[in-house]
């Protein structure tokens, strides 16, 4: 059985997390602004996916939690730029946001014109190299996962097509398939809608769907705004596009599958675990040695239950751990079904740095969230089971061993924070969430968490 977290240890851990601005626990309010606080607190630049609505909500909530009054969002003269402002003892405080695409955030960091870069994709190698003067931009202190998003492929609600696989999507968006009847739909010309080439949404789609095999058709219309794109698709019976999960709006999201995987719709559970083929993480990046207290506090605030509630309310997927319903029809090897019988799955998969057995930055943060989850009174005495999976190797035996070692790595990390688990298991390349070929196979290297 699971040993409960020792209270003195939990107290020490919580204090430590608070000291670095990464509390796993919710807190009702922040320390109030000092009376003399005024002026610009910091600048945020980058992803439109993050900046369009989510950053507004987070900043409004943060300023209000800090005691600012009359907090409001003020559009600036340039489209997709705004200021979130309030009053502290009658003096104005504000944060400015420019949301023109993920790449613009990293360029602004390099040019010292922003303090925080918003991104809807991981930082690229050339951006890491360009910002090397700030330190390691892939480190835990620099890379902050703030939400999970599902890249939704959207069509008109009257389109009879219900699901597509990644190869079909690549053929459609490259123009190789130009009529809906070729994928089981009506005899209707396909109209393509795509994000602009500055957006992280486009980078993610290009990486996960086009995959350097094909290029986007020149007939595709390009947009800076997710919402505008989705609204136009919802009025075009032949239309298809891709947007962030929060921007599905009046259009309809298709089920999507990869080779050998189950077709999934971008919904809370499949996106939270990152099993959905087009799931992605939303990031903030800061120089790792960044010392501005308001920035450290703001990023820590986002990771709390209160901050993640804003993520949820804005239409993205919160990282707060919950148990997920187990479907009536379950898939997997007999031993896997027996091991998880009567248990509930937690809404997280632990993943690792590429080519490494080291937990990635999100997984390190999720360890802290699991501390918070297991400390709740209703979870005292519950049992955790860790189940590892991987991509295909030369032999299934090797894949099984490596998948079990991944579960052992998570078990060791949890033991360090006072949580013991049931014996771990590994099931190799069973139940893939991505094709076991190409760069996407790294998503199969994961550890599920079950509780009963």
Whether 182 shows a pLDDT value over 90: the answer reads yes
pLDDT score, position 27: 45
Let me know: does 299 contact 140? Beta carbons within 8 Å: no
Same domain, 250 and 347: no
Residue 384, in any domain of the structure:
yes
Same domain, 140 and 27: yes
Q: Which of 314, 339, 374 is the last residue of a domain?
A: 314
Same domain, 222 and 328: no
The domain tally of the chain equals 3
- Tens digits of per-residue pLDDT, 166-177? 999 999 999 999
Same domain, 61 and 46: yes
Highest mean pLDDT among 8-12, 219-223, 257-261: 219-223
Q: Which residues contact 182 (CB under 8 A, 6 or more apart)?
A: none
Q: How many CA atoms lie within 13 A of 195 on its CB side?
A: 28
Residue 429, in any domain of the structure:
yes
Same domain, 304 and 234: no
For the chain, the average pLDDT equals 90
Residue 12, in any domain of the structure:
no
Whether 438 shows a pLDDT value over 90: the answer reads no
pLDDT score, position 188: 98
Residue 239, in any domain of the structure:
yes
Same domain, 395 and 413: yes
Cα–Cα dist 180/86, whole Å: 50
Let me know: does 434 contact 277? Beta carbons within 8 Å: yes
Same domain, 136 and 285: yes
Residue 422, in any domain of the structure:
yes
- Tens digits of per-residue pLDDT, 136-146? 999 999 999 99
Do the bridges between strand 344-350 and strand 323-324 make them parallel or antiparallel, or are there none, so unpaired? antiparallel
What percentage of the chain carries pLDDT values higher than 90? 77
CATH number at residue 344: 3.30.1330.60
Tokens 């136009």 identify what position? 232
Same domain, 182 and 258: yes
Residue 161, in any domain of the structure:
yes
CATH number at residue 207: 3.40.190.10
CB atoms closer than 10 angstroms to residue 389: 28
Q: At 72, list the tokens.
A: 């409001």
Task: From residue 336, give the alpha-carbon distance in Å to each of 331, 343, 345, 371, 450.
Answer: 9, 11, 13, 25, 11
CB atoms closer than 10 angstroms to residue 204: 24
- Tens digits of per-residue pLDDT, 21-74? 344 444 446 899 999 999 999 999 999 999 999 999 999 999 999 999 999 999
Alpha-carbon 306 to chain mean position: 17
The average pLDDT across 261-268 equals: 90
Residue 276, in any domain of the structure:
no
Same domain, 138 and 166: no
Whether 118 shows a pLDDT value over 90: the answer reads yes
Same domain, 124 and 201: no
Q: At what angle do helices 305-314 and 54-65 cross, to 10 degrees?
A: 140
Cα–Cα dist 18/425, whole Å: 33
Q: At 31, list the tokens.
A: 């320390």
Cα–Cα dist 99/81, whole Å: 6
pLDDT score, position 29: 63
Residue 228, in any domain of the structure:
yes
Smallest CA-to-CA distance from 389 within 434, 334, 324 is with: 434
Q: Which domain holds residue 73?
A: 18-145+281-314
Same domain, 223 and 239: yes
pLDDT score, position 15: 35
pLDDT score, position 42: 98
153 versus 316: the higher-pLDDT residue is 153
Same domain, 135 and 63: yes
Q: At 442, list the tokens.
A: 């790294």
């Amino acid at each position: 059985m699971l040993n409960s977290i020792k209270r003195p240890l939990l107290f020490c851990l919580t204090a430590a997390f608070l000291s670095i601005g990464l509390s796993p626990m919710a807190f009702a309010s922040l320390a109030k602004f000092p009376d003399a606080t005024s002026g610009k607190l910091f600048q945020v630049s980058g992803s439109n996916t993050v900046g369009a609505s989510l950053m507004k909500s987070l900043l409004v909530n943060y300023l209000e939690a800090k005691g600012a009054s009359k907090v409001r969002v003020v559009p600036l003269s340039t489209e997709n730029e705004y200021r979130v402002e309030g009053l502290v003892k009658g003096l104005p405080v504000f944060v400015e946001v420019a949301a023109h695409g993920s790449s613009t955030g990293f360029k602004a960091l390099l040019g010292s014109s922003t303090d925080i870069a918003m991104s809807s994709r991981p930082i690229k190698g050339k951006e890491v190299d360009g910002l090397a003067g700030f330190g390691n931009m892939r480190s835990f202190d620099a890379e902050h996962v703030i939400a999970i998003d599902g890249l939704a492929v959207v069509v008109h609600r009257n389109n009879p097509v219900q699901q597509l696989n990644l190869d079909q999507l690549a053929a459609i968006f490259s123009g190789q398939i130009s009529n809906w009847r070729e994928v089981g739909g009506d005899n209707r010309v396909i109209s393509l809608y795509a994000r602009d080439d500055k957006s992280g949404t486009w980078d993610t789609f290009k990486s996960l769907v086009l995959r350097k095999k094909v290029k986007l058709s020149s007939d595709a219309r390009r947009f800076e705004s997710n919402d505008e794109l989705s609204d136009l698709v919802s009025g075009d019976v032949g239309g298809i596009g891709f947007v962030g999960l929060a921007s599905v709006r009046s259009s309809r999201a298709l089920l999507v599958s990869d080779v050998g995987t189950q077709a999934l719709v971008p919904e809370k559970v499949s996106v939270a675990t990152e099993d959905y083929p087009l799931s992605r993480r939303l990031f903030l990046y800061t120089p790792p040695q960044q010392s501005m207290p308001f920035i450290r506090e703001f990023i820590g605030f986002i990771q709390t239950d209160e901050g993640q509630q804003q993520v949820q309310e804005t239409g993205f997927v919160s990282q707060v751990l919950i148990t997920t319903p187990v479907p009536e029809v379950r898939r997997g090897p007999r031993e896997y079904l027996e091991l998880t019988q009567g248990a509930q799955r937690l809404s997280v998969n632990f993943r690792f740095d590429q080519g490494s057995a080291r937990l990635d930055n999100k997984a390190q943060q999720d360890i802290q969230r699991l501390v918070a989850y297991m400390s709740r009174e209703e979870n005292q005495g519950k049992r955790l089971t860790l189940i590892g999976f991987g991509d295909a190797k030369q032999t299934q035996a090797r894949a099984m061993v490596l998948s079990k070692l991944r579960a052992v790595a998570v078990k060791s990390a949890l033991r360090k924070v006072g949580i013991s688990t049931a014996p771990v298991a590994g099931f190799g390349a069973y139940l893939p969430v991505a094709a076991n070929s190409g760069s996407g196979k790294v998503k199969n290297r994961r550890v599920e968490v079950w509780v009963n």
